[in-house]
Structure 1
């Protein structure tokens, strides 16, 4: 009797668990849970370095951006929140999904930017009551157009600094004007130097007749007249001496 009672209790417990299991699955199906990124091992990647599938367009992602299409493996699953991080663009949180259903998620990034990480919160259970094990990067859509230059107003502002450069050259004439007074006093001491030089050149220029016109004023101050007189006397003495010598020779020859 005891064995039959124990067996009956076990059977009843098993039956209750089977009956309650679908209800438990139904209540948990709407609860979000985190799912790992299947291609995390391939990170970091860019749209051009991705070795998987590529498409020309990713939903409404602009053509001048790189498009990233993430997907869940089964229709029973749907995204609740997708968080991605790019090297240049930083973190993005996506909470609007599709088309066609919420198992598809699209993200746009600047052309050439690098995907660093991706995490997702999803909901839903498959027919066997199992959660999603992962989410995938279905394909990428590399940018097909160059982005419009953000610095388009710069050319209009670029001529502005050019007048400032032309105005900066204005001080150059002021420099030339400032040199005018500096040159005038610099040339003033030159006459004094030239005046001091004749004292040295007077002695060297005195014996040269050709230079007497240039240095005559200084030579006539007391040096040219005595020199001429002495030269005349010396010439007379030489002539007289020569005359006496000749006369003595003639007298000696007569005797």
Structure 2
């Protein structure tokens, strides 16, 4: 009898344990919840900014940070959908990058994407439950691209800084440069002055010739 009683007690205990595990399993299973629809669609630049996760700001990347409200569960994964210039792109945290972290008892997830993408939707796998049956995009760290600065035009030189042409060594109008490049104060000799000198010299020569002829005639005249 004692052995049969022990078998019955063990059977009852095993059944109770199985019931307990089956009742607890839904609480341990992951639950899928959506993102707060009021958070999307948005670009990172148009959302509340904060660069406490992911190491940003980056020059060419946006960082997205999600939060699970309340303390009754944790993120297992977050799958976000983005609209890009090349089409729709899906990224899952942490499979495609980023991380799930515990921030003072609150479960958060972050991921970095190319700059300029638009978040259009997201779902999350969580443990436990969420009081609002949804999670939030808490903030972003938008890319800080290299700003294009307008080049400053060079300053125009002031009139006082302008350089006047160097006139040193040039001949003064109306003067004739002398030896060594120096100028003299004498007036230049014109063509009319040269002609007058030539005529005057020719007259002197003619006068001298006439006097010579007269003298020779005088020497050969016989005395009466």
Structure showing the higher strand proportion among its residues:
2
Structure showing the higher helix proportion among its residues:
1
- Band of TM-score, shorter chain: 0.3 to 0.5
TM-score, normalisation: structure 2: 0.46
TM-score, normalisation: structure 1: 0.41
Structure with higher RCO (Cα < 8 A, 6+ apart): 2
